[in-house]
Chain A
Amino acid sequence: DTAVSQTPKYLVTQMGNDKSIKCEQNLGHDTMYWYKQDSKKFLKIMFSYNNKELIINETVPNRFSPKSPDKAHLNLHINSLELGDSAVYFCASSQLVGDYYFGPGTRLTVT
């Protein structure tokens, strides 16, 4: 009964391809996030969704398009992948004034 799950765990693809990462949380939280961790381990917020509505878009290229079909799911679609998109992408969820729970991460490698 994983709290926040992501698929796939690993994603290897070529430049120019389009790929998606899926995230689901079973904690009943209202807010979900996508974070990117680069090769130097730096973590940066990409998007925040609250009750399926986009709250934060942190100057992410529009090749990245999040979608939240319901408040338990937040998917990330990436068009025209570039080398610089290689990173680990973490999904997370939280409730107000509470802890943040992170998924296992998706390691994306663009060749």
Chain B
Amino acid sequence: ELKVEQNPLFLSMQEGKNYTIYCNYSTTSDRLYWYRQDPGKSLESLFVLLSNGAVKQEGRLMASLDTKARLSTLHITAAVHDLSATYFCAVSFNDYKLSFGAGTTVTVRA
């Protein structure tokens, strides 16, 4: 069974500083997704990483994928309050299923 582990599960960030969320998965996969969820809302797609070495950036967020290490990272640069949310990584093992990590709840403080 595919397992997806995120850490940390909770992250208190100080505005202006940099942080990283890690996502490890147990079985070979070449597709990894990052989502953001605000309280009471749906999941918003952030990144789709499709190959080893893929790196994508959007604003203060940058995601990377190392399929050999079965590791993806979500790097946050110069945190701002608007980034407070829960972030999920998810891995596609086949075409019909996404397996999610437990989520990282991010709080950004002044």
Interface residues in chain A, defined as those with a beta carbon under 8 Å from any beta carbon in chain B: 31, 33, 35, 40-45, 48, 50, 55-56, 58, 90, 96-105
Contacts and interface: CB of A to CB of B under 8 A. Distances in A.
7 contacts: A43-B100, A97-B95, A99-B33, A100-B45, A101-B45, A102-B43, A105-B42
Contact of B95 (A44, A96, A99): A96
Interface string B71-93: 00000000000000010101000
Residue with the greatest number of chain B CB neighbours at <10 A, chosen from A41, A45, A50: A41
Given A56-B96, A97-B31, 9 more contacts: A31-B96, A33-B98, A41-B86, A41-B105, A42-B102, A44-B100, A45-B97, A55-B96, A100-B45
**Those 3 A-B pairs whose CB atoms lie nearest each other, nearest first:** A48-B96, A43-B100, A102-B43
B14 interface: no
A90 B88 CA distance: 15
A44 B102 CA distance: 10
Interface in B25-81: 31, 33, 35, 37, 41-43, 45, 48, 50
A48 B98 CA distance: 10
B43 A90 contact: yes
Contacts of A35: 98
A64 B88 CA distance: 26
Interface in B8-36: 31, 33, 35
Contacts of A90: 42-43
B106 to A, nearest CB: 13
A57 B14 CA distance: 42
Contact of B88 (A33, A43, A105): A43
A44 B100 CA distance: 7
Nearest to A96: B95
A41 B37 CA distance: 10
A98 B37 CA distance: 19
A21 to B, nearest CB: 14
A100 B103 contact: no
A45 B48 CA distance: 19
